[in-house]
Amino acid sequence: MSENEFSDFVFSLDKDQFSNLKKTVETRIDQQLYGVTSFEEAALLYERKPVCPKCGSASCHEDGYTPAGHRRYRCDDCNNSYTLLSDSIFNSAKISFHKLMGYISLMSFNVPLEMCCEILDISANTAELWRKKIFETVNGYQDHLKLYGAIWIDETYMEDYSILHDQFSSRKRGLSRDLICIVTAIDSYKNMVAIISGHGKPSSKRIKDALKSHITPGCHIIHDGDRSHNALIRETGCTSEVYKANTKDPNYISHMALINNMHGWLKRYLWRFIGMDVVNLQSYLNWFIYLQRCKRDNELWPKTTRILRHLVLTNARFTRKY
Ligand SMILES: [Zn+2]
């Protein structure tokens, strides 16, 4: 055993003492990594506003502490009492800050749930609950995203596992109407959107519904020339540049590389959710787009800290949907 000044001390501790020591060490690690040791401290650091979750009033005063030791606020308008995190996914969180930060870090690499359970020593239910809660915070995340400059648009498809395939029926030729269509766009600044658009090849209307609000008018759209793109391009007043899909044509490959790469990232990401509930697919896509943005800006904001900030500043209440 390698000796240092704490060896004898640490090995002399009983189980409870050691457990306390471990917690203290973890707290210090959190302090060093994130500058805070609880979600409430993080909410204060990132200046989350204590807005009344019942009536939405921002007028309140501090009113002591809850039995769990959280700062309590009382609404000046409706007298409701609440904490800073009442309306967040951390309301009455039972998992420790340290474990949850570990979980968030693993989720930023999309580590499979089973592996999260193993590494963090948490139950499958806990891991699943927190994944759902975190996804809840990216609900509608893509709604406000705008792409500009040169914008590539396309579609990619994935199997709909909720549709049972008859293993004896021969697969239809061409593009199956059973495939889920994901409409994608990426600009030269690597802003991206990925929106589910029903099944099978999309119509002009579906393309417009998915992308119109994300395209800054008067930009330049680069695509494979599918007719379903025309109405979108016309109505946004964009110019159009076409490369017919042909994986043997170097011109196509080089000009469409960005969006084809995006499809590759997306597929590798979604592959981890095989057997997933298709109803959650848009959540997975939102999380993917969110993480891509975090990665893009990684130099400005260390990833896990940025996610922590996002999570404590987002109002989201996790509601069980079944
Ligand atoms: Zn109120």
What is the pLDDT at residue 317? Answer: 75
User: Residue 1: pLDDT band by 50, 70, 90 thresholds?
Assistant: low
Q: How confident is the model at residue 316 (pLDDT cuts 50, 70, 90)?
A: confident
Indicate the range of 20-34, 87-101, 222-236 predicted with least confidence: 87-101
pLDDT at 247: 84
Cα dihedral sign, 90-277-118-31:
negative
> Contact at 8 Å (CB) between 180 and 167?
no
Predicted confidence band at 163 (pLDDT cuts at 50, 70, 90)? low
- For 197, the 3-state DSSP assignment is strand
CA 66 to ligand 1 center in whole angstroms: 17
Whether the per-residue pLDDT at 2 is higher than 80: the answer is no
CA of 320 from ligand 1 middle (Å) equals 25
Concatenating the DSSP letter of every residue in 96-140 gives -HHHHHHHHHHHTTT--HHHHHHHHT--HHHHHHHHHHHHHTTTT
Average pLDDT, the chain: 90
Q: Is the pLDDT of residue 168 over 70?
A: no
Residues with CB under 5 A from ligand 1 (ion): 52, 54-55, 57, 75, 77-78, 80
Gap from CA of 54 to ligand 1 centroid (Å): 5
SS3 per-residue string spanning 253-276: HHHCHHHHHHHHHHHHHHHCCCCC
pLDDT per position as a tens digit, 132-141: 999 999 988 9
Distance from Cα 61 to the centre of ligand 1, integer Å: 11
Architecture in CATH for domain 150-164+173-276: 2-Layer Sandwich (3.30)
* pLDDT tens sequence across 32-77: 999 999 999 999 999 999 999 999 999 999 999 999 899 999 999 9
Query: Which pLDDT does position 185 carry in this prediction?
Result: 98
CA distance 222 to 234: 13
322 has pLDDT over 50: no
| Torsion sign (Cα): 300, 303, 307, 309 | negative
Cα of 300 vs centre of ligand 1, distance in Å, is 36
pLDDT band at 176 (very low <50, low <70, confident <90, very high): confident
Pairing status of strand 220-223 against strand 150-158: parallel
Q: What's the confidence (pLDDT) of residue 222?
A: 97
Does residue 166 register a pLDDT over 80? no
Q: What is residue 167's predicted lDDT score, i.e. its pLDDT?
A: 52
Q: Which percentage of the chain shows pLDDT scores above 90?
A: 72
Domain ranges of the chain: 150-164+173-276
pLDDT for 50 equals: 94
Tell me: pLDDT of 259 over 50: yes
From the CA of 274, how far away is ligand 1's center (Å)?
43
